[in-house]
Each structure stands twice: as C-alpha cells, then as structure tokens.
Amino acid sequence: MRKFLYCLGFVPFAAFAQTVGEIGVDWVGNDIVIEAVQDSEVGGVTCHLAYFERSVIDRLSKGNWFEDPSNSAIECAQTGPINIDGISRDPGGEDVFRESRSLIFKSLRVKRVLDEENRVLIYLAHSNEITEGSAKMAITTVPLPDLPAETGK
C-alpha cells in the first residue's frame, strides 16, 4: 500500500519510520514489511513494527485496490537514555506513529501509554478505522527502572 500511496503522491504521517526488512511470503509478491520507528518524544526507544503489504497481483485478484489488512506486530526496546518528562500521562495515550492502510478510512497506529505505578512504557499497535473498529492489536512494554517510585500513584 505504501508504494501505491507514494505513486499517488501521498506521504505517510510518520516520515521517521525506516524500512529495515521486507520478507516475501508468496509468489504473487505479498510482503511482510518491518520498520524501525523511533519514539521522538521519549528518545532512547526504538520500536520495530511488522505489517502485511499486499501486492498489485493480490489487489487485482481480490478486487480491493485501496486497503491493506489490519494485522501488525510490534516489539520495542531501550536503545539509549530515556526521558519521559514531556510525554502525556493521559490513560488514552498518545500517537507515536500513524500510517495509512487504505486510501482514506484506515490507519495503522502506534500509541504510547505510561504506566507510572509499574514503571513501564506501553506501546500498542492497532488499526484505527472510521466505521468499523478492529480487535487486531499487538502490545509491547519497555521497563523504566530509573523512574522514581514516588512519581507513581
């Protein structure tokens, strides 16, 4: 879908994602794409997001030109010093990454939620749709051992 959107002149929301792997899964050209996403607000956290990208042949055969599946997987790790001073403490979290998965109605998102009491950053990958929500999601956590205990509840 990304290649298709680039051809149409659309650019994904998060230009800071870097493709680090592309694994072919069948003979028609469908791929699993792996991207490295830096959490720019926190610093020191890199998430690797994997998702399915449909080929042109698959799009032609199924008649659905403008949409990729909602499936995704995520894993995040500390890759440097972490600073959480400027991030949201809202339980609804905040967007770290968003990329279109259809022409206009669906996006793949990564949200960050801070669990201060347990000293953990939570990253949730999920699909966001205008009309039908999806239960497909993936979650990962990054421990914050240096977070003072008194900042929790």
Digitized pLDDT (tens) for each residue of the chain, 153 residues in all: 444 433 333 334 344 789 999 998 888 878 888 999 999 899 899 999 898 887 767 666 766 666 666 678 899 999 999 999 989 999 999 988 877 666 566 677 889 999 999 999 999 988 766 556 666 789 999 999 877 665 444
In the chain, the amino acid numbered 65 is W
- Provide the pLDDT for residue 103: 57
Q: Which domain holds residue 64?
A: 2-151
Residues paired with 122 in a beta bridge: 113, 141
pLDDT of residue 10: 36
Asked if 111 and 72 touch (Cβ cutoff 8 Å), the reply is no
Residues with Cβ within 8 Å of 142's Cβ and at least 6 positions away in sequence, in order, are 45, 76, 77, 78, 82, 120, 121, 123
3-state SS class at 60: helix
- Residue that the structure tokens 């497909």 belong to: 136
pLDDT reported for residue 105: 67
DSSP H helical ranges for 15-145:
56-62
What total number of domains does the chain contain?
Answer: 1
pLDDT score at 101: 61
